[in-house]
Chains A and B, each alone.
Chain A
Amino acid sequence: MKRPDWRTLAVGGAVLLSAVAAMQPEITAERATYEIISFVDITGSMNARDYGSKGAPQSRIDAVKERLPAAIGRLPCGSRAGLGVFSERRVFLLFEPMDVCRDFAAIEGAIRGLDWRMAWEGDSRIASGLQNAIEMAAPVGADVVFVTDGHEAPPIRADMDQRFEIDKERTKGLLVGVGGTHPVPIPKYDDFGRESGFFSMSDVPQASRIGPPPEGAETLPGYNARNAPFGEMPEGDEHLTSVKEDYLRRLAGETGLGYARLGEPKALAEAIAAGAKPRPIEVPVDLSSIPAAAALLALAALYGAPLVAGLRRPRPAAQGVA
C-alpha cells in the first residue's frame, strides 16, 4: 500500500474540518450582565448649565439624557435597566428593569423624556432619596445607579449626622456626580414653566431650618426665641451650584456604592460595570471558526505550496493531468 499523497490528506482534512464547522460546535461560557435601576435627580439644580461647549451650553439634566442612554446601551446584552426619578426626599419608579438590547428604544425614549417638570416638590434631600432608592431597588434585586449633582437643598446641618438604614454589604451600585466644579447660577422658572432668570441669594435658604435649633443659637445674630430660633439667615452661596464630589464620595462610602463623575458614555458604562453586581449568565460561544480557519489553512497550503515551490525553482514541470 502506497503512502497517501499529502495533498489528499490536506483536502480530506479540509472536508472534515469544514463539515465540523458546519455543525456549529459551541461551548457555553459565562458572561457578566448587570441589572440596574437608574434614578435621575430632576431637582432644580440639575437645570444649571455647566455642560456643553462654549456657545452651546447644555444643562446637567440634558447631559444626563444624552450620556446615560448611551452608557446603558454599552452594557452587555442580557443586562437589564429600569428607571426612576428623584426629587424632594424620595424616588419614584417609572419602570422596572427591561432588556438593554431588545428594549433599548423604550429605555432611551423614556430617559430622553425626563424633565424637571416631573418633579413633585422643590426640595432636594439627596441622602433620603438615596436611602429610598436603595429600598426601592431591593425587591427587584437590582443595583442602584443614582445620578445627581449632590446639591442638597436646603443645605444639610453639619451638627446632625445622617444614618443609612441599609445592609451595606449587600448594597451595590454607583453614585454618579453630575456638574462642573465651578459654581454656576441655577435657572428659575415661573408658573408657566418659562425661564425667568436665576435664583439669587435671598431666594433659597442658605442654612437648614430643620429640627431643633443647635446649641448656642442664642448667641447667633438676629436670634429671637419665638420668631427666629436659628438667628437670621446667613449669607452664603447656596444659590450657586457645583458638583459636590466630596459629599457624594462620602455618601458612596456610607452606602457601599461606587462613585464616578458623569463622563463619556464609555467611561460611565465601565463605572456601572465596576460598581454593580455582575450576574453571570450562560451564553453559547460559537467555536466553528476554529475548524473553519484550520480548513482554510489546509486549502491554502494545498494550493499555495506548489506556487511557493514554483517560485523557488524555475518552473520544473507542467501541471498535473487528471
Chain B
Amino acid sequence: MSEDVLRIRTPIGIHYRYSAGPNASSHLRGLMEGKFIGKRCPSCTLVYMPPRSTCAKCGVLLGEDVEVGPKGTITTFCIVNVAFLGQTIKIPYVAATILIDGADLGMQHLIQECETSDVRMGMRVEPVWKPREEWQPSLANITHFRPTGEPDADFDSFSGQL
C-alpha cells in the first residue's frame, strides 16, 4: 500500500516587464542625479513626491516637475520587529511615512542611525545616499533617512497628512 498523495509542489515562474510610465520618468532621472523631483497637480496645485501617474483626487495627469527636499518630517511610523521572507534589513527597524519638504504627500522609507525608541512623530530627517556608482533609477538609491538634529516639526503642521 502506498500513502495517499495529499500535496504536490508545482512551482510557477513568469517573467514580467514593468513600466514606470512617462509620468514618473523625470522623478527617476532625478534620482540618478541625487535629486527629489516631484510633480505638481495642475488642478489642485499640490505636489506629489514620489509622483504617481495622476492626482488621484482630481483625476488628471500630474503636470510640471518640482524639485523638493531633500529633508523631510516623519509624520507617522512603525517599528518592525518581524522577519519577512527575503528581508535584508536587520530587525528591529523603523518604517516611516516621511513628508519631504515642499511635498504634500508622504512616502514610505526606512529610518536608521538612531535608536528605534528615539523615533518620534514630527522628527526631522534627511536622506543617506548609496555610493553614486551604485545608483539606479530607484528610490532604493537612498539606503535610509537619518535624524537631522533639528527641532521637531509642530504636530499641527503635518496632522492633515495622517
A, B from the same assembly? no
The residues of B with any CB-CB pair to A shorter than 8 Å are none
